Structure 1
């Protein structure tokens, strides 16, 4: 949270040097409409994450069952951690920097620059250095979602929609149906459970999520009007 406050203070200071306000950059006007945008983004990616987890279980022949050891306190703390991380990434990649990139580069170049930076950032968070194939895949996969977030910010003039899109997926993937850590549901395997190969994983888990992001990008790109920094 301290990091997020620091980013907000720095953004506010830089904008004050230009005699501009932080509110329009974050898009906090018309709060009910912004809440609606957040809810739409959150529900769509949360549903996508749930469906992806269920398809994964069906394909690999295992079952998701409730985890008794996941306490309410643990889940609430998990929600806070996920929200804090999502907010940090959105303020960095879709906040002041994208706002200025839009001003100097225009919509398309600014959005792709933001997406590229988001992809490179995940080389560090996913620790993919030393594996060129994995680095390329992480850059492409997270870059596509980063492009969706960038267009969501650009077309709505607000962080509400990209935060919703980002939070919905991360919350379900990390604390509802997590494959690697304690979550609300845990996978229970049997002798019939099988390991999915790379091609199957891409087809059943990755391609649908990439397709979703591309669809959202195409829909947002049809929104009339260019981003204005005035």
Structure 2
């Protein structure tokens, strides 16, 4: 929490010094509209992640069950952990620095720069140095998603939408499907008699197809949302 407060203060200073703007430049107002954007982004990303897991389960014959050791009182803690990690990344990559980049470099260059930095950042967070193939794949996947989330900031003029998209994806992946660094949480996988582990090229194609598909769906969602916003004015 202290880290988030520090990021807010730094964002306020950077915006004030370089752009003569306050934190309102990051789109915190009007609050009702931003809460709606946050919720819609969270819901869309969560449903997209669930769809990906359903498709993957169908291909591999993987099933899921509720964690027998789940303490329902821990679910808010799972949400809080994901929210903190999302806010940390969003304030770096879709906050004041992105706003300044857009203002000074233009929209296209600004969001591309943000996406490149986001992709490179995941080399460090995932500890991938030395594994060239993994570095390329992770850079492309996270970079393109970072590009779409930055586009969400540009089109909505707020951090709320990309935060919602990011949180929806991370919480569903990490907490609901227990694929994060915290281990088993809400659902745990069950590899039954007919479970098939995808390997080699089929595994790579499946991974890329699902991630590219989610990225394109998110792009269409943002484009549709932006068009609806324009129609309302």
TM-score (norm 1): 0.90
Deviates more, 1:161-170 or 1:173-182: 173-182
8 A Cα contact 1:128 1:134, kept in partner: yes
Residue 202 of structure 2 is matched in structure 1 by 200
Q: Is the 8 A contact 2:175 2:185 kept in 1?
A: yes
CA RMSD of aligned residues (A): 1.9
Shift of 1:186: 0.7
Moved more, 212-221 or 122-131: 212-221
Query: What is the number of equivalent residue pairs in this alignment?
Result: 223
Look up the match of 1:38. Answer: 38
Shift of 1:191: 2.7
**For the Cα contact (< 8 Å) 1:128–1:135, is it kept in 2?**
yes
What's the secondary structure of 1:188's corresponding residue?
strand
Cα distance change, pair 111–138 in 1 and its aligned pair in 2 (3 A)? same
In structure 1, stretches of 5+ residues that fail to align are 225-230
Q: Distance in 2 between matches of 1:128 and 1:51?
A: 27
- What are the equivalent positions in structure 2 for 1:110-149 lying under 5 Å apart? 110-149=110-149
What does residue range 34-113 of structure 1 map to in structure 2 within 5 Å? Answer: 34-113=34-113
Could you tell me how far 1:220 is from its partner in structure 2?
Answer: 4.3
CA distance in 2: counterparts of 1:7 and 1:179, whole angstroms: 27
Aligned-partner Cα distance in 1 for 2:191–2:221 = 39
Is the CA contact (8 Å cut-off) linking 2:178 and 2:184 kept in structure 1?
A: yes
Tell me if the contact between 1:46 and 1:168 (Cα under 8 Å) persists in the aligned partners. yes
SS in 2 for 1:65: strand
Match of 1:22 in 2: 23
Q: TM-score, normalised by structure 2?
A: 0.89
